Structure 1
Amino acid sequence: MITNTELEYKGDLYPTKIVDFKKEVDSVYFYTDNNVILKVTVLRDSLIRFRYTTKGYFSKDFSYAIDKKQSHGYNFLEVTEDINCYNIQTNKVICKVQKEDLRILITDLNGHSILEDELGFHWEESYHFGGNIVKMSKASKDGESFYGLGDKATQMNLKGKRVENFATDQYAFHKDQEPLYKVVPFYIGLQNNHSYGVFFDNTFKSTFDFCHERRNVTSFWAEGGEMNYYFIYGPQMQDVVTTYTHLTGKPELPPLWALGYHQCKWSYFPESKVKEVTSKFRELKIPCDAIYLDIDYMEGFRCFTWSKEYFPDPKRMVAELAEDGFKTIVIIDPGIKIDKDYWVYKEALEKDYFCKRADGPYMKGKVWPGECNFPDYTNPEVREWWADLFKELISDIGVKGVWNDMNEPAVMDVPGKTFPMDVRHDYDGNPCSHRKAHNIYGTQMARATYHGVKRFAYPKRPFVITRSAYSGAQRYTSSWTGDNVASWEHLWIANIQAQRMSISGMGFTGSDIGGFAEQPTGELYARWIQLGVFHPFCRTHSSGDHGDQEPWSFDEEVINITRKFVEMRYQLLPYLYTMFWEYINDGVPMLKPLVYYDQADHHTQYRNDEFIFGNQILVCPILEPNAMGRRMYLPSGNWYNYWTNELVAGKRELWVQTDFDQIPIFVKEGAIIPKYPIQQYVGELEFEEITLDVYFKNGKEKSVLYEDAQDGYDYNKGRFSLATFNLTGKDTELIIKQHKEGKFDTNYTNFKINFHGLPFKVKKIMIDKEQITISKASIATKSFIVDKNFTEIHIIGI
């Protein structure tokens, strides 16, 4: 432990010596002689919560971020006392609490330092607002790297950066701009191949400094509330991310169509324009599953209304779009127009559901409809009322999803672009000011929207997307990265944001393909599509003031590239759906930065561009104009070039040549990649077979395929199909064993097996120990058809 530091630092206050401690079940309390209490709670052997108070008692324990359904339990907990410290030991770590000043040192069981307080907990009294500005500083070691913090528009490794967490409407933001739309106060540290995580669950405006101000110090602080953080030990980054994702929760499976391609613009109206766009997709045979209606579908931008001029019969239109495979998504903002003849406004006014200023009047602000009041979504009664408002949209008209925008909350024509800080909130029975509620306002709106859409979409699954979010929002909603720009810099930013969000618990995320502001060139749009189809949420969106941004707005070459890559996404839907199942079942991120994939390889720690899509596909977008290839880093293992089938050894940098209609894509050797036939929308085709692309490996590899009815909740009753494929390859032999779980029987009957990289000529094929007769042509093309319920395929070569 470092030596004691002087207690006066910028006027801050510090804990003094411990005068008492007590243990209660899973918690240990430490009391200092200047009235500070530290409560250390062991939730799991590798998950410990640290909670501080300076007033001699703790306020009510409440968090919107923590998933109440998560399970806790540890294997071992022992508290011992030394001359200088108390030791709290679990099966994974030892937490030392200094008697002199309450500073913390966490080591592994071998005594290796994982996380150590520098100044530790300290605070500054906030004379302006009352309460404390709470602060924490940790000692950082040379070579330590930092990741996470949600969709920050900066390099993956946050070393040397300072970032802010205050949900802000940042139209046309730029690289390194702070703050942005979302608040995820969770970071991952990596040092000497040991990974840990810190989740600072405090909804006030907070700041993280990763050795920016002081070279070997990482610190975080908030403008109010408690010093309340969770420590997560790996030592693998995979374990840290999974534990954090379990802690803050996971979504339910989306309907499969939500993983298709979506088209959006500000704004598609009137109805004839909507039909023109959807018809063009079908004419050009570019697959598409969802069409979005922005604010112009409403009557004077009033939520839950329809413009009679632009959409005279929305129910008929939505039904006709559905017949052609399009699901209709509509925008709903938080601002409710002040209008005594507007039924939503009148209901909220009568029930006293709007946010109020400190002195009593309703919070009033200008957004799209003009002067508006804003529901207090932190009030459970308001959330219930809001959920019921979706009955007509979902049950009667047939809308399939809802898009929450402007929910930072954003307010126009005011300096701070949001509510005044004196606005009051219920906060689920914990009344507070907007200083505390600001960062979770958007999440609580999305939560209320989710429950409404789910209520009226049942027995189908809901789809909700939000712009603003706080940790835990992933339980209710998908997200996008906000109002970006049609620039090459923003293509780079979008790539990093999606990766960072994925390891920050919010996997179902994408960017506005092509850029929201300004106009992309055809080349930029094509390169963005080539990246966007590998993001969990895939949507083109643009503002209408600069021209059109549909795929056909560019030349024939761009149309063909768009079709090619969107078709690739639709073929990979079973792979993507399986990725999503692993995310919600096991807390595994769908996109994996290279450092997550192999943290022991130092070359991965500063890589930004390459990522693993799922478990077995490596993607590296082209991020510069006029490029016909690029340098990239292949992580450990051997990889097949997707386009050429060339097998390349990893753990090295290489130049990859590509055409304009390609980006570098590699498949891990041994992978078995499932593919559907190309469809124009999910559910368009009933197919007899799906393809399994088998990539040979001299060794062993496991692949999985999860399927269910693609919508509804029967999967919770065991009606799913989980196929596990175990591949074993030898010099002249290949064995694939299939194990199946679940009660769901897929509609197709066969697999078409395609082999890649077989190093031998096929002599015979045994299926479930019976030799099959195959034509010489099939052997030459290395593909054949097999019953989907096979147990073992044995390929014997010469």
Structure 2
Amino acid sequence: MIINTELEQKGNQFPNEIKSVRQEVDTLYFTTQNNVILELTVLRDSVIRFRYGTRGILEDDFSYAIDPENHVGYNHLELSENKNFYIVTTAKLIIKIEKISLQSKILDREGNLINEDEIGFHYEESFTLGGNIVKMSKRSHPGEAFYGMGDKPVHLNLRGKRVTNWATDSYAFGKDTDPIYKSVPFYIGLKEKHAYGIFFDNTFKSSFDFCHERLDVTSFWAPGGEMNYYFLYGPGMSEVVQNYTHLTGKPELPPLWTLGFQQCKWSYYPESTVKGIAQKFRDLKIPCDGIYLDIDYMDGFRCFTWNKEYFPDPKRMVKELLDDGFKTIVIIDPGIKIDPEYWVYNEALENDYFCKRADGPDMVGKVWPGECAFPDYTNPEVREWWADLFKELVHDIGVRGVWNDMNEPAVMEVPGKTFPDDVRHDYDGHPCSHRKAHNIYGTQMARATYEGVKRYVYPKRPLVITRSAYSGAQRYTSSWTGDNVATWEHLWIANNQVQRMCLSGMSFTGTDIGGFAEQPTGELFVRWIQLGVFHPFCRVHSSGHHGDQEPWSFDDEVTNITRKFIEMRYTLLPYLYTAFYEYATEGIPMLKPLVYYDQDDVHTHYRTDEFIFGNHILVCPILEPNSKGRRMYLARGRWYDYWNNEVVEGGRELWVDADFDTIPIFVKEGAIIPRYPVQQYVGEKKIEELKLDVYYAEDTIESRVYEDARDGYDYKKGRYSLRNFKLTGKAKDLSIQQFKTGTFETEYEAIKLNLIGLPFRIKKITVDNVAYDLNNLDKEDKILKLPKDFSVVHMIG
């Protein structure tokens, strides 16, 4: 469907003159002569919802994406009018609604135009589909840039692109393949240093055109549902992403082990193979926390069963793996094998839990087990039943995480690779067809899985992973980017996709390291590990059809470099966990593209390679074969080269050497980076001390370290430790203040400061106003050992 370029185009209808306006607390209703309603709601001073109805009707208001815990509240709301406009004013925004056309303009309080309708809302009645095709067009400005939209494998800046949201099983997708697995109809616009976001909360097959058809127009549309979108204002990109993440929900903290390294393949079986892989990790001293069982662990691919030939005693195996530090994660797909001897199938059949075709019979499709029926996860009763199915796997056998795959939903041997449009869904009491439910099917499956794993892994915390997702899925699940390929192009895609997912509220994401399809060279595998250890979710996964993809599958050099980078990740776990804490509490993404980090620097608007890991570390992966280094852009500010501690001035392009065993990594001056010792798995060793790498700056910089019991829910009762550090550097003087909150007592008693880049020789140190014996200072390393709860340490040159 093409958006109209001519107003007169047949079939399009437009709102005309406003005939009435009424206000109910935070919501305004504008009704036109031709019975179009605009319901405008002020959720926060910078978050405005626009919802349009035709024929004077608004549908039942229901959304899977919006977090029920989303707190709303604004400081100011005022309605006024002049000759041409109704004017809605909040503490942050001015919204002008044109009286003759219902078109809107949004300005900040200084009067800068942020966003304006081109035609604005228009629609076409679709008698073949029923309902309306709803459309919105916005004026775009020269230089305006666009970001977000979930897992699209395209250039980070979407200007000039057109994309579609329809969750699709896209095995071995490539650059610019669209659509693929996820549907996140949210984008960020950046116009003249002002960032805003638009979230089009419509689960139908939506499309977005970013100045592709017309250079000065951005539009979005869907062949059903409502024109219902949220406008989120910055002006910082960080505020837009945080507003969006508050709106669609934040995750709970995962157990710390899920941030460790994880190993997967299609498939590890029988038990002796699984145990052999685990043993090899320990023998070679390559840290690893998770091991995955793909579909072959089941009896004939029947979910919630075990192949007793391959795994005669799964409970014993899972426990033995756990004793060695390995948590077991198993795959569960939505397709339930049609088999009258199979208890899961019979229960669902008896209770009428399967999705149905319009004329009544169950939806039947082929997946791995052969012919399957599919639970309707949009029915709360079905979700409750599904959650309960995890009792045996999780509570009795001891599995610690569940991986949902094929949940787009994927169906084999049919043209669209999914359900036909006429399949019916409950949609939480708002019955609908698959056209509406398709994009959220995977998320509702992940939600039901999460409720089950959470219930039965208690008092531990759950891990759920999903392939398909819609906005808001981050409340229940982590994700990975699906079936990629072992090519250099896919390494570029992987880097891009994870940055984009982080901008789209879904930070707990990673890729199949090394590529799922085909076989990587040792060099590609190393370069992918070097990127993957900086992704929030870190897992090697391969189809295994072309050879093995464990760290030792190549040669000793590859094994050693892989170990070195996985060890680096393990030492950075407190840094990564702190980043997750900020994501879970404040909606701050764990990775930040350079444009997020410094949107005022125009050089960042088209950068795809470099990103900020957490708040203080800049990473630039090597994405080409036979590289001895690369050109990269270093963001503005002063940075320390991680490998040699040289100080480098940013805001420019530079050449960086990066042989096979290294990649460009820079640390922001003034940063305090927490480090743990290398462990083979989380919790293997008692942490004897917290090491802090302190990067000197002539400035005042804040850093944080969040810790808790690493699993369980005590942190929700205040049993956590949050250390806020404030570094203040002067020419001959450095002080670090610590403010601690939370009641958790860490197991270590001492903090070691590793002072980097100090421009003066220390002549005097005081700790909480008491002189420190300089003989205790390791002169070579400038390492200072302090009691863990010191308030202030002061070093004078």
TM-score greater than 0.5 by the shorter chain: yes
CA distance in 2 between partners of 1:753 and 1:108 (Å): 45
Instruction: Give secondary structure in 1 for the equivalent of 2:188.
Output: strand
CA distance in 1 between partners of 2:177 and 2:104 (Å): 33
Q: Per-residue deviation at 1:780?
A: 2.8
CA distance in 2 between partners of 1:562 and 1:11 (Å): 59
Q: How does 1:317-716 map to 2 (within 5 A)?
A: 317-716=317-716
CA distance in 1 between partners of 2:688 and 2:99 (Å): 70
CA distance in 1 between partners of 2:269 and 2:364 (Å): 29
2:113 is aligned to 113
- Maintained 8 Å contact 2:256/2:711: yes
Instruction: Give secondary structure in 2 for the equivalent of 1:546.
Output: coil
2:249 is aligned to 249
CA distance in 2 between partners of 1:532 and 1:775 (Å): 42
- Maintained 8 Å contact 1:293/1:329: yes
2:781 is aligned to 781
1:24 is aligned to 24
| 1:239-295 Cα deviation digits (max 9, x unpaired) | 100000000001100000000000000000000000110000001100000000000
Counterpart AA for 1:415: P
CA distance in 2 between partners of 1:628 and 1:548 (Å): 27
Instruction: Give secondary structure in 2 for the equivalent of 1:537.
Output: coil
Q: Per-residue deviation at 1:11?
A: 2.9
CA distance in 2 between partners of 1:575 and 1:659 (Å): 26
Q: How does 1:200-349 map to 2 (within 5 A)?
A: 200-349=200-349
Q: Per-residue deviation at 1:6?
A: 6.9
Percent of residue pairs bearing the same amino acid type: 71
- Maintained 8 Å contact 1:593/1:608: yes
Counterpart AA for 1:490: H
- Maintained 8 Å contact 2:777/2:784: no
Counterpart AA for 1:611: F
CA distance in 2 between partners of 1:357 and 1:513 (Å): 39
The runs of 5 or more residues in structure 1 that have no matched partner are: none
- Maintained 8 Å contact 1:7/1:14: no
Instruction: Give secondary structure in 2 for the equivalent of 1:287.
Output: coil
CA distance in 1 between partners of 2:702 and 2:111 (Å): 35
- Maintained 8 Å contact 1:95/1:105: yes
Instruction: Give secondary structure in 1 for the equivalent of 2:702.
Output: strand
| 1:537-584 Cα deviation digits (max 9, x unpaired) | 000000021110001001111101110000000000000000000001
- Maintained 8 Å contact 1:507/1:590: yes
| 1:644-701 Cα deviation digits (max 9, x unpaired) | 1000111111111122111000000000000000000000001211210000001110
Instruction: Give secondary structure in 1 for the equivalent of 2:73.
Output: coil
Give the paired residue count.
Answer: 794
Counterpart AA for 2:587: G
Counterpart AA for 2:499: Q
Counterpart AA for 1:277: I
Greater mean alpha carbon deviation, residues 273-282 or residues 782-791: 782-791
Q: Per-residue deviation at 1:7?
A: 4.2
Q: How does 1:171-182 map to 2 (within 5 A)?
A: 171-182=171-182
**Are 2:30 and 1:47 aligned?**
no
Instruction: Give secondary structure in 2 for the equivalent of 1:435.
Output: helix
- Maintained 8 Å contact 1:639/1:668: yes
Q: Per-residue deviation at 1:410?
A: 0.1
Instruction: Give secondary structure in 2 for the equivalent of 1:775.
Output: helix
Instruction: Give secondary structure in 2 for the equivalent of 1:445.
Output: helix
TM-score (norm 1): 0.99
CA distance in 1 between partners of 2:734 and 2:529 (Å): 36
CA distance in 1 between partners of 2:24 and 2:87 (Å): 15
Q: Per-residue deviation at 1:763?
A: 1.4
Instruction: Give secondary structure in 2 for the equivalent of 1:542.
Output: coil
Instruction: Give secondary structure in 2 for the equivalent of 1:207.
Output: strand
Counterpart AA for 1:514: G
Instruction: Give secondary structure in 2 for the equivalent of 1:705.
Output: strand
Greater mean alpha carbon deviation, residues 339-348 or residues 111-120: 111-120
Instruction: Give secondary structure in 1 for the equivalent of 2:763.
Output: strand
Instruction: Give secondary structure in 1 for the equivalent of 2:780.
Output: helix
Greater mean alpha carbon deviation, residues 11-20 or residues 464-473: 11-20
Instruction: Give secondary structure in 1 for the equivalent of 2:542.
Output: coil
2:136 is aligned to 136
**Are 2:745 and 1:745 aligned?**
yes
| 1:396-449 Cα deviation digits (max 9, x unpaired) | 000000000000000000000000000000000000000000000000000000
| 1:374-416 Cα deviation digits (max 9, x unpaired) | 0000000000000000000011000000000000000000000
Instruction: Give secondary structure in 2 for the equivalent of 1:344.
Output: helix
CA distance in 1 between partners of 2:742 and 2:270 (Å): 46
Q: Per-residue deviation at 1:786?
A: 1.2
- Maintained 8 Å contact 1:671/1:702: yes
- Maintained 8 Å contact 1:754/1:784: yes
- Maintained 8 Å contact 1:183/1:471: yes
- Maintained 8 Å contact 1:762/1:779: no
Q: Per-residue deviation at 1:110?
A: 2.0
- Maintained 8 Å contact 1:137/1:219: yes
1:97 is aligned to 97
| 1:10-53 Cα deviation digits (max 9, x unpaired) | 53111111111111110111111111111000011100000001
Instruction: Give secondary structure in 2 for the equivalent of 1:552.
Output: coil
Instruction: Give secondary structure in 1 for the equivalent of 2:648.
Output: strand
- Maintained 8 Å contact 1:514/1:541: yes
Instruction: Give secondary structure in 1 for the equivalent of 2:61.
Output: coil
Report the RMSD for the aligned CA atoms in angstroms.
Answer: 1.0
Q: Per-residue deviation at 1:776?
A: 7.9
Counterpart AA for 1:339: D
| 1:689-715 Cα deviation digits (max 9, x unpaired) | 121000000111000000000000010
Counterpart AA for 1:581: Y
